[in-house]
Amino acid sequence: MIDLWGKAIMKIKNHRLVGKDGQAVPYERSPNQSGKLDPTYLIMHFTAGSSARSSIEHLKNPSAKASAHLVIGRDGSIVQLVPFDRVAWHAGRSRLHELRGLNRHSIGIELDNAGELSGEPGRWTAWFGTVYPDDQVAIATHQYDAGPSAWQEYTEVQIAAALEAATAIVAHYGLIDVLGHDDIAPDRKRDPGPAFPLAQFKSRLLGRADEPEPLFVCAANLNIRSGPGVDFEKVRPEALAKGTKVRLEGREGVWCYVEVLDATGAPDLTGWVHGNYLARSG
Ligand SMILES: [Zn+2]
């Protein structure tokens, strides 16, 4: 999928993340999930693990009683463990304003990162014993601490992949905020920690919400399909009525990926329509 400026972007389809190559990211189902999720927030985590693979295996193990929707490796590779419309077990005992138990209200992304390190320059060591070179270590102050400590750095490609995935997730589900695990479980959790640029991440994600994609209107009754072509099944049996408002989110050839707005202007459903029958609104 490309956006309006011809740049490849990630998308959500059937509650799975679709990468910039148009393929769903690898899916390795975790049994650690429960119930239907209608997410409002995105929660960022570090794995405090030694590799993305070991963290994925852990989060797929029933005895771990933990999971996340996505795990993002230090090379930027993404694996999905739980569909975005199912509750994953990443937040634990947690609270935000009047909400308790944020698993039921949020999508969770885990970033492969060793977390907080102990030791000294030249000997920064993770809890599992690995020693990290100084050029992988940030000396930074956690929001709840008085002074600095050592944390493994995230990689540029990892943050870029997280931003691209989060952009698709926030847009698709209309999420209203992005938080760290330590924001919702301050007495227990220190992730994603001060090495993660949460403030910039948030402003990149939520700043976009102030610049909505262009609004179009259906110039005829228009079938809405699950993919860019007439061979794809209809997302719903009845056509979009002439005059229905949609937001254009991407294009493939003449086919347009749109978010359909209901009578109140709220997002209703997403799918593909033929671009010849869209007219720019107002
Ligand atoms: Zn966490």
In degrees and rounded to multiples of 5, residue 144 shows phi and psi of -100, 0
122 with 250, same domain: the answer is no
> Is the pLDDT reported for residue 211 higher than 60?
no
Which residues form the domain of 267?
A: 215-280
Asked whether residue 65 is assigned to any structural domain, the reply reads: yes
pLDDT > 70: percent of the chain: 97
Average per-residue pLDDT in the chain? 93
Asked whether residue 236 is assigned to any structural domain, the reply reads: yes
Contact 103, 33 (CB under 8 A): no
**Angle at the Cα of 266 from the Cα atoms of 264 and 269, rounded to 5 degrees:** 120
Angstrom CA distances, 168 to 15, 66, 229, stand at: 11, 24, 22
Q: For residue range 92-122, what is the model confidence (pLDDT) as tens digits?
A: 999 998 899 999 999 999 999 999 999 999 9
> Lowest-pLDDT range, 132-146, 161-175, 267-281?
267-281
> Residue 132 carries which DSSP code?
E
Last residue of a domain, one of 184, 210, 236: 210
Enter the pTM of the model. Answer: 0.74
Asked whether residue 6 is assigned to any structural domain, the reply reads: no
**209: pLDDT confidence band, cut at 50, 70 and 90?**
very low
Residue identified by tokens 């270590």 is: 137
What is the distance in A from the centroid of ligand 1 to the CA of 46?
Answer: 6
> Is the pLDDT reported for residue 282 higher than 90?
no
Q: For residue range 8-40, what is the model confidence (pLDDT) as tens digits?
A: 899 999 999 999 999 999 999 999 999 999 999
What is the distance in A from the centroid of ligand 1 to the CA of 263?
Answer: 39
- The CATH number of the domain holding residue 276 is 2.30.30.40
What is the distance in A from the centroid of ligand 1 to the CA of 91?
Answer: 6
> Lowest-pLDDT range, 6-20, 126-140, 267-281?
267-281
- The CATH number of the domain holding residue 78 is 3.40.80.10
Q: For residue range 43-57, what is the model confidence (pLDDT) as tens digits?
A: 999 999 999 999 999
Please give the distance of CA 233 from its chain centroid, rounded to a whole number.
26
> Is the pLDDT reported for residue 2 higher than 80?
no
pLDDT at 42: 98
Query: Region 182-201: what's the mean pLDDT?
Result: 96
What is the distance in A from the centroid of ligand 1 to the CA of 108?
Answer: 8
Top pLDDT among 214 and 273 is at 273
> Is the pLDDT reported for residue 210 higher than 80?
no
135 with 256, same domain: the answer is no
For the annotated catalytic residues, the residue numbers are: 110
What is the distance in A from the centroid of ligand 1 to the CA of 255?
Answer: 39
17 with 126, same domain: the answer is yes
221 with 201, same domain: the answer is no
Number of domains in the chain: 2
What is the distance in A from the centroid of ligand 1 to the CA of 68?
Answer: 9
Judged on CB neighbours under 10 Å (0-12, 13-18, 19+), 175 is buried
